[in-house]
Chains A and B, each alone.
Chain A
Amino acid sequence: MYNTDVLIIGAGATGCAIARELSKYQLDIMVVDKNEDVGGDASKSNSAIIHTGYDAALGTLESELVVAANPMYDKLAQDLDVPFSRIGAILPAFTDEQFEKLPSIKEKAFKNRVYDVEYLTAEQLLKIEPNLNPEVKAGLYIPRESIIDPFLLVVALAENAHDNGVNFLLNTKVTNIITESGEIAAAETTAGTIQAKYIINAAGLYCDEIAQMVGKDEYYVNPRKGQFFILDKNTSCKVNTIVLPIPTKLTKGKLMCPTIHGNMLVGPTAEDLEDKIDKSTTSEGLSSILADVSKLVPNINIRDTITQYSGLRPNRNPEGLHIDTYEDVRNYVNLSGVRSTGLTASVAVGKYVVQTLLSIGMKGSFKADYIGIRKGIKRFNELSISEQDKLIKDNPKYGTVICRCETITEGEIIEAIHRPIPAKSMDAIKRRLRAGMGRCQGGFCGPKLLEILSRELGMPAEEVNKNCKGSYMIAGRVR
């Protein structure tokens, strides 16, 4: 039996951002998630782009939140020690039809209060992007479109929230929500009942199922799958900015951009699904990405791919980002339709939700001892040789390189396993440290990581999982 002031359902970008904001107040806060680690679903399988909101649907809450969020990232990334870079985006036009769309796109950006969108000539575009299709006629430049490490963003939000007193209960699924006299009372979960004064539904892909628990079924989640390629850091054909396609009536289109760590990212598709489980990549989907992006960057070398993945956007039907409160279910905040710009908007959503809670009567005074700074794990591969030497002399575990592709040491892995929100699975380590994200995709470091996890967690190797329960690595011992 647990008792808390505010219960947040979902530890994705949204849930963790809300948690961090709330942790500035003197409140007891708890976050639950059915997954074994923070990071959500969509929050860990997206294009890692921090949007400006230049193309958001006009006059919507989504547009307001994204546009407000974007400028926050410079300070946020610094405070939370998250890799982030404003590399900018280009929107090149190759046909007359596309060229004619440019003014309306710029105008829409303006109406969305994204004023710093500029026209660029073909020469200027080719100077920024030598690998761009030379048939480009002209285009737009959106300077504040940026890239981030999406895994570290969510981990950092969560760790900082935890540092400020938020409790995280993972591997915990909400099965029912109990109201009393039209007011939130508690949530029933697989870990027991959690009594709460306020409940926030930040369950993303499953937010419709949570909403139904309080009798609200005004919408449903229809997952929209997005498949992606990641290319080797050494790929022969790279881009420097986020290269965006001119949207058509049907789709926002497939892009190519660098990742914050130097790979190339290509995608996504947009496929509507029936169920929330299908995260498979398909040969048709992957081929369609290559076909579309080749029009932007003709020399893209897809054979340099090191991995492909897909994510499910928690699309809402009817569409639109909603942050709702209800007269007949008091002290409950429902978030739905958080997708596409969900990662970006998260920090603004966090603040918006806090304001919403205050407006519906939540009481909580400001914490004098709130710490807004969070330091990440010291990265061996970012240090100078003398700094590396000193680090090893202080802790010899930093002298054993485990992931050769990304130069990640045992010291960093051990730290990740013992941080307050610990990495307890292969993928949890991968997301925090990138071990397994290199070109060998864990072929070399995988067996070693398994050994380290088993040792540090004091569990037999057979019990170590790749991610969720049931994703065992080893079926048993040989002897």
Chain B
Amino acid sequence: MRKKDIICIICPIGCKITVSGEESRIDSMEGHTCKRGEGYAKDEFIHPVRILTSSVKVNNGKKQLIAVRSDKPVPKELLLECMEEIKRAEITAPIKCKDIVIKDILGTGINIVATGCDI
């Protein structure tokens, strides 16, 4: 039986929501005051995800680093492992915004793409 305290980030109220359940089943939820908050708390409990942003080394470019992001939110538990991949990566200029820097990172189907450019 898992219990998690969550601060909702959907709006500035920041409701404190407590969710109880197992793996991917929610038994109870209290503290939420709207449907959006309920949805957020559910996702946070069952499978929290985060957009990952970082930098990748650039070769032959005007810049030393290019800003990158995950094109979809990454499972929270994989963040640090993804960072290890990103630290190892390199990309050669020219780079356009949205160019794929790491395809299908850790087999998640999520790409790490450039959010800046170096042309």
Name A residues whose Cβ lies closer than 8 Å to a Cβ of B: 478-479
Q: Which residues of B contact A478 (CB under 8 A)?
A: 55, 65
Interface residues of B in 35-53 (CB under 8 A from A): none
Q: Which residue of B lies closest to A479 (CB)?
A: B57
A346 to B: closest C-beta gap in Å: 45
Closest 5 pairs (CB-CB, A-B): A479-B57, A479-B65, A478-B55, A479-B55, A478-B65
Q: Is the interface of B mostly helix, strand, loop or mixed?
A: strand
Mostly, the A contact residues are loop
Residues on A with beta carbons closer than 8 Å to the beta carbon of B64: 479
| B4: Cβ under 8 A from any A Cβ | no
Report the bound CA distance from A457 to B82 in whole Å: 36
Q: How far is the CA of A302 from the CA of B91 in the complex (A)?
A: 51
B44, chain A: closest CB distance, angstroms: 30
From residue 8 to 67 of chain B, which have CB atoms closer than 8 A to chain A? Answer: 55-57, 64-65
Q: Is B103 an interface residue (CB 8 A)?
A: no
Query: Does B87 sit at the interface, judged by CB under 8 A?
Result: yes
Cα–Cα, bound, A479→B86 (Å): 10
Closest chain-B Cβ to A454's Cβ sits at a distance in Å of: 12
Please name 6 further chain A to chain B contacts, defined as beta carbons within 8 Å, in addition to the given A479-B55, A479-B56, sorted by A numbering.
A478-B55, A478-B65, A479-B57, A479-B64, A479-B65, A479-B87
Name which residue of chain A comes closest to B65, CB basis.
A479
Report the bound CA distance from A479 to B65 in whole Å: 8
- Provide a sorted-by-A list of 8 A–B residue pairs whose CB atoms are within 8 angstroms: A478-B55, A478-B65, A479-B55, A479-B56, A479-B57, A479-B64, A479-B65, A479-B87
Cα(A230)–Cα(B112), bound, Å:
48
- In the complex, A478→B57 CA distance in Å? 9
Q: How far is the CB of A477 from chain B (nearest CB, A)?
A: 9
**Which residues of chain B are within 8 angstroms of A479 by Cβ–Cβ distance?**
55-57, 64-65, 87
A282→B56 CA distance, assembly (Å): 43
A64–B26 CA distance with the chains assembled, in angstroms: 88
Residues of A within 8 A of B87 (CB): 479
Bound CA–CA A479/B64 (angstroms): 9
Shortest beta-carbon distance from B63 to chain A in Å: 11
Query: In the complex, A479 Cα to B57 Cα: how many Å?
Result: 6
- Give the nearest-CB partner of B66 in chain A: A479
Q: How far is the CA of A37 from the CA of B87 in the complex (A)?
A: 38
Residue of chain A at shortest CB distance from B86: A479
B residues 56-92 near A (Cβ < 8 Å) are 56-57, 64-65, 87
**Cβ contacts under 8 Å, B55 to chain A:** 478-479
Cβ distance A460 to chain B, nearest Cβ, rounded Å: 12
**Whole-angstrom distance between the Cβ of B117 and the nearest chain A Cβ:** 18
B56 surroundings in chain A (CB, below 8 A): 479
CA distance A479 to B89 in the complex (A): 9
Residues of A within 8 A of B57 (CB): 479
Task: With both chains docked as a complex, state the minimum distance between the C-beta of B62 and any C-beta of chain A, in angstroms.
Answer: 14
Complex formed: what's the CA distance from A286 to B60 in Å? 51
A479 to B63, CA, bound (A): 12
> Nearest chain-A residue to B88 (Cβ)?
A479
Q: Distance (Å) between the CB of B54 and the closest chain A CB?
A: 9
Q: In whole angstroms, what is the CA distance A444 to B65 when docked?
A: 20
Rounded to whole angstroms, the CA-CA distance of A478 and B86 in the bound complex is 11
Q: How far is the CB of A397 from chain B (nearest CB, A)?
A: 19
B86 to chain A, nearest CB (A): 9
Bound-state Cα–Cα, A478 to B64, Å = 10
Task: Give the Cβ gap from A325 to chain B, nearest Cβ, in Å.
Answer: 58
CB distance from A463 to the nearest CB of B (A): 17
Residue of A nearest to B58 (CB): A479
A353 to B115, CA, bound (A): 66
Contact with A along B97-117 (1 / 0, CB 8 A): 000000000000000000000
